[in-house]
A = this chain, B = another copy of it.
Amino acid sequence: MNRLTHIDEKGDVAMVDVGEKLATRREAVAESIVSMTAETLKAVIEGAVPKGNVFTTAKIAGILGAKKAFSLIPLTHPLPISFADVELTPQLDGVSIRIVATVRCEGKTGVEIEALTAASIAALTVYDMCKGMDKSIVIQSTRLLSKSGGKSGDFRAP
């Protein structure tokens, strides 16, 4: 496909009509990397060891974000999400957290945006909880890792 699916023949933005599509099992996995100082990551992990608080808070925000994506991103469809999860893992580099969001549904269109929204909202939640002690935080490289289901075939990021 070499044109934007959300621009119709008149050049206007448009929702894609998925009425004729088949409802199939769909999954999308997205990732977001949040980088910060080693001192901040240490504070997150230490705060996290006893109670998992920063990570659980970001996970919950991300799952809720997946369910709200249809009302945040204009041209998406409401979808019967059957599963959404967000995992946060401090990276070995000592200065970043990797966020992986997985969303599944049985629907007429894919859940990439739901997974990317979950990862983004979780990343913003980490940012929010750390911003008081660190102004160098950057949310890096939010992207799709894989998708399956639907006519356009499976995808796995290189």
Contact = CB atoms under 8 A, between A and B. Distances in A.
Interface residues of A, number: 85
A47 B10 CA distance: 10
B75 A63 contact: yes
Interface in A1-19: 1-7, 11-19
A68 B25 CA distance: 25
Q: State the copy count for this chain.
A: 6
Contacts of A25: 19
Nearest to A125: B73
A49 B67 CA distance: 28
Contacts of A65: 72
A124 B132 contact: no
Contacts of A107: 80
